[in-house]
């Protein structure tokens, strides 16, 4: 492929991704998503756990929640303490069967914490453990039929997770009316 062909293909693919995200947005149940906020406000501490690219999206959400002034931990990081009653574990798994995420949810429930899940299904083992599940109406990573998404594996879910958690943060920020300068004081300064 020539540079111009790559250029055209990249633009076409970006437009496909944006189109799929707009379609996903139109299918999302925002009342279900809004239930996320009370869970966050009522929790003493917040833990986040997911694998792969979903894990990267939840790490981005963890950063924004920390900027908001909440006590936030990423599961698996060496400084993450034990979870307990009054805490919230936010997890993401498109299939609801990712073993590391499922194990974390089981342990959280056993410790008395609540679990809030992002998934593509309400019928998974993870959804059964969660106090609330937010459905992202995307393809699961092993859905290769391209009937829901033309993108590879769980890309639509992972992108939707990132965008949805940013939209939730934006909503919380607007609702609290905290000046950006106050949030910025919590931004990493050792970069």
Tell me the per-residue pLDDT of 171-182, one tens digit each, with 9 for 90 and over: 999 988 888 888
Confidence of residue 2 (pLDDT cuts 50, 70, 90): confident
pLDDT for position 142:
64
Ramachandran sector of residue 82 (left: φ over 0; alpha: ψ -120 to 50; beta: rest): beta
pTM, whole model, 2 decimals?
0.93
99: confidence class by pLDDT, cuts 50, 70, 90:
very high
**Residue 132: helix, strand or coil by DSSP?**
strand
User: How do residues 33-87 score in pLDDT, each as one tens digit?
Assistant: 999 999 999 999 999 999 999 999 999 999 999 999 999 999 999 999 999 999 9
Q: State the Cα–Cα distance between residues 147 and 166, nearest whole angstrom.
A: 27
pLDDT of residue 141: 64
Separation of alpha carbons 86 and 7, rounded Å: 51
Active site residue 106: no
Task: Name the band, by pLDDT with cuts 50, 70 and 90, for residue 143.
Answer: low
Read off the pLDDT band of 144 (50, 70, 90).
Answer: low
Among the listed residues 3, 5, 44, 158, the single catalytic one is: 158
Tell me the pLDDT band of 4, cut-offs 50, 70 and 90: confident
> Is the pLDDT score of 145 beyond 70?
no
Whole-angstrom distance, CA of residue 56 vs CA of residue 50: 8
Whole-number pLDDT of residue 176: 86
**pLDDT classification of 106: cutoffs 50, 70, 90:** very high
């Amino acid at each position: 492929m020539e540079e111009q062909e790559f250029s055209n293909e990249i633009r076409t693919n970006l437009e496909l991704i944006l189109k799929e995200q707009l379609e996903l947005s139109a299918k999302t149940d925002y009342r279900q998503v809004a239930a996320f906020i009370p869970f966050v406000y009522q929790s003493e501490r917040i833990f986040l756990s997911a694998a792969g690219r979903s894990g990267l999206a939840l790490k981005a959400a963890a950063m924004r929640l920390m900027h908001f002034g909440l006590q936030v931990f990423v599961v698996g990081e060496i400084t993450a303490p034990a979870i307990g009653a009054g805490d919230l574990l936010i997890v993401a798994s498109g299939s609801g069967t990712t073993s590391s995420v499922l194990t974390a949810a089981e342990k959280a429930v056993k410790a008395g914490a609540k679990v809030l899940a992002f998934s593509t299904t309400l019928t998974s083992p993870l959804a059964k453990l969660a106090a609330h599940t937010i459905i992202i109406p995307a393809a699961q990573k092993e859905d290769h039929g391209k009937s829901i998404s033309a993108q590879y594996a769980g890309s639509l879910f992972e992108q939707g997770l990132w965008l949805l958690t940013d939209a939730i943060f934006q909503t919380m920020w607007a609702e609290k009316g905290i000046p950006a300068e106050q949030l910025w004081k919590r931004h990493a300064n050792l970069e």
